[in-house]
Structures are given as C-alpha cells and as structure tokens.
Amino acid sequence: MYRAPSDNIHQFVDLLDDVLKCLHNSPVKFILRGDVNANHLTENNNKIILGMKMNAYNLEKVEDFPIRIFKDKITQLDNMFLDKAKQTAFQFVP
C-alpha cells in the first residue's frame, strides 16, 4: 500500500478500512506492508490515526527501527503489520 505525503490520511484510512473488513475474518494469513508516510519514530497525528485503525483489526507493527536515514532526519515511513493472532507460521508461496 502507498499513501502520498500530500494525500488525506482520513480518506486513506477509510479505504484501508474497507480492505481490512474483507480480510479480518478471513482464514488467509496476510502481511500488510507499505509506505504510508506516517513516521512512527515521532508523535504525530498520522501515526495516531493509522495506529488506531491497525489496533481495531488486531494488527501489530513489527518493525521498530529507522528505515530512511537522511543528513538531517531519521524516519520510519515504511511499515509492516501482521495480525497478532496469525503472525506465526506464515508460509510464502511463490
């Protein structure tokens, strides 16, 4: 998934909610990965809004380290989320 920095976080979360409703009760194990432009290394509204939605679907962020390191800024804009109940025994099929 991708959200441009200029995109409305609320519209993005509404669309994400529609997708998660379909996947949440499915027996399918999935990884939600993407650049959502919500820096998880600082307190900010985008991080809070996205975090609330992920918590509602039992999704846990599994990375806790900087992804992009610039001269004057360290960010974690790319994120990976797994269902807490399903995060063991993933099988990747090519």
- Please report the pLDDT score of residue 68 as a whole number: 58
Q: What is the mean pLDDT of each run of 10 residues along the chain (94 residues)?
A: 84 91 82 74 78 87 64 62 65 50
Given this model, what pLDDT does residue 36 score?
76
88 domain residue, yes or no: no
- The answer to whether residue 38 is domain-embedded is yes
The total number of structural domains that make up the chain: 1
**Residue 72 DSSP label:** S
- Assess if residue 70 is contained within a domain: yes
What are the backbone dihedrals phi and psi of residue 69, each rounded to the nearest 5 degrees, phi first?
-120, 115
**Is 63 within a domain?**
yes
Cα–Cα distance, 16 to 14 (Å, whole number): 5
Structure-block tokens of residue 81: 């989320």
Domain that holds residue 20: 9-83
pLDDT at 75: 54
| pTM for the model | 0.68
Per the domain annotation, does 15 fall within a domain? yes
* Confidence (pLDDT) at 14: 94
